[in-house]
Chains A and B, each alone.
Chain A
């Protein structure tokens, strides 16, 4: 029964206090949410922790779900905000050893022979500024520029501009790679 109910109906029922609807909605979106968290953070451990944050806080966040809004847009907005808060909090900690985080690249490169070689994806993502990374995380998740703009609270034009910036940056990284 639940599987045929739309996300939006489930979210509305959940916001009105239906626990089964909430459970069903989260179960339906968990794997996709986790994948999105990975796209945002670039590390499995971080994605697990971030998903945990979001799951625990989501009941209190249901109040911000607006009738008829697309559930994925709302959920991704919660995720982007949570990632943003986490990043800010982590800035005070030691730097992360994994992920797209600003780990000193040269230090890892020093022991390339022993440590796992960084793949192209990680190298590329690390060199992009955070807003471009977040934008890419959404667009690579097959969101349209308009939907991504909705999630990030910016215009569709801004998304298109960021994507073209990201492409430029990626091209530069590739060229640098070709030279070495």
Chain B
């Protein structure tokens, strides 16, 4: 690496923060739970297929039928080995349903064909095509947070996606500082939703004060609404 890049590399290495411990744990457990769900549904599919084959074999009479069955079972397994997209849709759909509904949006994101996808990725993509159709407009992170708080419950941590929440607002106030402060309030709001016990009531009070002081002209009322949601979250945290 040349000097130019070495300089950049050391700046970059210094800039990299440590991953948030709480989100690390949450992400790892989410991954494991998705893994387990996916596996269970695979096994369910496999065993029902297997059972059908056994039943079908038993229904055959005489040795000739069994020999024919063996050949056909071999052929069946050959076809079963690379499962067809139609078979694969079912387990993934189950996994998504059992997991967070937030996954739908995620799966949709991953389903989009990217330029460097491998053949197997295309497989995964085809599994999720059906999902794409069903979840025409997945809710954004902020919409999920709002839906939960309005119902008087904390949003699921998987639904709290800080950068997305910050992006849910329009930033075109007369003052850029107002916008940046408001964005900071939303970001801290997201952090509080991730670990409500960390800062407690005073944490919410600070965030609410910061947001309220930076409403700007707020033509659509979205910022005022966010303050209301923060107040709901504060009340829930007590």
Interface set of A (CB-CB < 8 Å, partner B): 14, 17, 19, 22-23, 26-27, 30-31, 34-35, 38-39, 43-49, 51-53, 55-61, 63-66, 77, 80-82, 84-86, 88-90, 93-98, 107-108, 110-111, 114-115, 119-121, 124, 136, 139-140, 152-153, 163, 167, 170-171
Contacts and interface: CB of A to CB of B under 8 A. Distances in A.
Question: Can you list the 6 inter-chain pairs with the closest CB atoms, starting with the nearest?
Answer: A153-B116, A64-B120, A59-B35, A55-B27, A55-B31, A34-B19
A81 B117 contact: yes
B28 A111 contact: no
Interface string B1-31: 1101100110111011111100110111011
A153 B168 contact: no
- Which of A57, A66, A96, A114 lies at the interface centre, i.e. has the most chain B CB atoms within 10 A of its CB? A57
Contacts of B120: 63-66
Interface of B: 1-2, 4-5, 8-9, 11-13, 15-20, 23-24, 26-28, 30-32, 34-36, 38-39, 42-43, 92, 95, 99-100, 103, 106-107, 109-110, 112, 114-118, 120-121, 123-124, 127-128, 158, 161-164, 166-171, 176-177, 179-180, 183, 187, 190
Nearest to B172: A94
A55 B28 contact: yes
Contact of B163 (A49, A66, A82, A108): A49
Nearest to A77: B116
A115 B177 CA distance: 8
Q: Chain A interface secondary structure, helix, strand, loop or mixed?
A: helix
Contacts of B17: 38, 44, 47
Given A56-B34, A84-B114, A136 B8 contact: yes
A170 B3 CA distance: 12
Nearest to B187: A45
Contact of A60 (B16, B124, B168): B124
B166 A17 contact: no
Given A97-B171, A167-B5, A170-B4, A59 B31 contact: yes
Contacts of A108: 176
Given A30-B19, A85-B110, A140 B9 contact: yes
B118 A66 contact: yes
Contacts of A26: 28, 31-32
B163 A45 contact: yes
B80 to A, nearest CB: 15
- Which of B32, B38, B115, B179 lies at the interface centre, i.e. has the most chain A CB atoms within 10 A of its CB? B32
A55 B24 CA distance: 10
A45 B162 contact: yes
Contacts of A111: 176-177
A56 B176 contact: no
B112 A49 contact: no
A49 B27 contact: no
B24 A30 contact: yes
A167 B31 contact: no
